[in-house]
């Protein structure tokens, strides 16, 4: 296990597209992942190992081994794609146990997001996190046009800021929305709103079709 002398004074973020935070900026908030916003607020350097579409197995095999040295904070988003693809919850639990255990050993504190699209997967997250004293579970459920994209999975840039604030509260850290230099504006661009309301019905129709087909 790395020692205090190897500390990198940093935050490491691991996971899927929710970690990446690739978005269209809205309400004056840039397209950054919540981990990067949190790192800025805590004055920590930032390292990211993440790729959109990654399952828990991908994360454990491809990204977790890259986490070496010692970090102040680790953040993890893992399981959304497992839930979306209706993969095994037993496999998710096994992979989360490996991922969270590894991060817990390399980070003073760890933040793990829940999985809003699946109560069952969120239960897995909470169960795994409960086994380690330095792991904090943060509710990733956001809603509304300001915070959630029309696919009903990915947070907007404002939603990412909300997740960063929730993580900061869990850690007792300064709120990114107050100190990261990106105050959340009130106005949302008309073009974004139009695109959102056009795409939202398509998302609902896809979900209905998926349920009917048993996928």
In this predicted model, what pLDDT tens digit does every residue of 52-86 receive, in sequence order? Answer: 999 999 999 999 999 999 999 999 999 999 999 99
* Residue given tokens 């197995």 in the structure block: 57
Instruction: Report the candidate in 102, 115, 113 with the shortest Cα–Cα distance to residue 35.
Output: 113
Contact in structure between 75 and 111 (CB atoms under 8 Å): yes
Q: Give the residue-averaged pLDDT of 78-99.
A: 97
Q: Is the pLDDT of residue 5 over 60?
A: no
Pick from 106-120, 143-157, 167-181 the range whose average pLDDT is largest. Answer: 106-120
| pTM of the predicted model over 0.85 | yes
55 torsion bin: left (phi>0), alpha (psi -120 to 50), beta (else): beta
Question: Tell me, what's the pLDDT at 213?
Answer: 75
Share of the chain above pLDDT 90, in %: 71
Contact in structure between 12 and 68 (CB atoms under 8 Å): no
Strands 10-15 and 135-138: unpaired
Name the band, by pLDDT with cuts 50, 70 and 90, for residue 102. very high
Name the band, by pLDDT with cuts 50, 70 and 90, for residue 4. very low
Compare 79 and 28 and report the one with higher pLDDT: 79
């Amino acid at each position: 296990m790395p020692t205090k002398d190897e500390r990198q004074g940093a935050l490491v973020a691991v996971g899927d597209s929710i970690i990446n935070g690739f978005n269209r900026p809205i309400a004056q908030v840039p397209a950054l992942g919540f981990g990067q916003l949190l790192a800025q607020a805590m004055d920590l350097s930032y390292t990211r190992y993440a790729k959109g579409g990654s399952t828990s197995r991908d994360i454990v095999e491809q990204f977790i081994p890259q986490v070496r040295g010692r970090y102040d904070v680790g953040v993890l988003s893992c399981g959304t794609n497992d839930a979306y693809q209706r993969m095994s919850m037993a496999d998710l639990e096994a992979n989360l146990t490996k991922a969270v255990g590894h991060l817990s050993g390399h980070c003073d504190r760890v933040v793990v997001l829940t999985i809003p699209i699946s109560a069952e997967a969120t239960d897995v997250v909470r169960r795994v996190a409960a086994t380690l004293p330095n792991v904090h579970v943060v509710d990733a459920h956001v809603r509304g046009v300001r915070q959630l994209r029309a696919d009903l999975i990915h947070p907007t840039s404002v939603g990412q800021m909300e997740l960063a604030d929730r993580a900061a509260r869990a850690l007792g850290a300064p709120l990114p929305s107050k100190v990261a230099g990106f105050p959340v504006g009130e106005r949302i661009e008309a073009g974004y709103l139009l695109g959102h309301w056009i795409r939202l019905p398509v998302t609902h129709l896809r979900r209905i079709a998926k349920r009917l087909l048993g996928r």
